[in-house]
Amino acid sequence: MPDPTYTLSELAGLVDIHPRTIRSYIQQDLLRGPDTMGRNARYSDYHRKRLEAIKTLRSDYALPLDEIRRLVSLADIDEDIKIASLPTPRGTCSERQFVTRWAFPQAPFSAPCSSASSLPGCSRVR
């Protein structure tokens, strides 16, 4: 069975993101452009999954788009970014460090988590 494809309006409805925002994310290199161009542009599950990840990182973790761009660029083009099952780390290590450690365990860290962190896998990095 072939992978599903979506029009921009279908994709926007599935992920509950305005079509203009999706176009903006494409322009800002947060995800690649449509699989087919023109009036009948088609988007794939890649776009749906990436938009869901971006939406989660924006709403649940309050990460800026620059940081989200850096994080999604660490994943391969066909690699799923699985963060929806992560607990939101309020008041422990920084949200950015938590997301980076759990969603992208191979990612380099710019600063260690706080020593008071109680989250598994979020210990001081030296």
Cα separation, 59 vs 121, whole angstroms: 23
Domains of the chain with bracketed CATH: 8-85 (1.10.1660.10), 87-126 (no CATH)
Cα separation, 81 vs 71, whole angstroms: 10
For the stretch 90-122, pLDDT in tens is 544 555 555 555 555 554 444 444 433 333 444
pTM reported for the whole predicted model = 0.66
Torsion of CA 119, 79, 74, 92, to 10 degrees: -10
For the stretch 69-89, pLDDT in tens is 988 888 777 667 766 444 555
Cα separation, 92 vs 102, whole angstroms: 14
Cα separation, 103 vs 123, whole angstroms: 16
The predicted structure's pLDDT at residue 99: 54
For the stretch 22-65, pLDDT in tens is 999 999 999 999 999 888 899 999 999 999 999 988 988 888 99
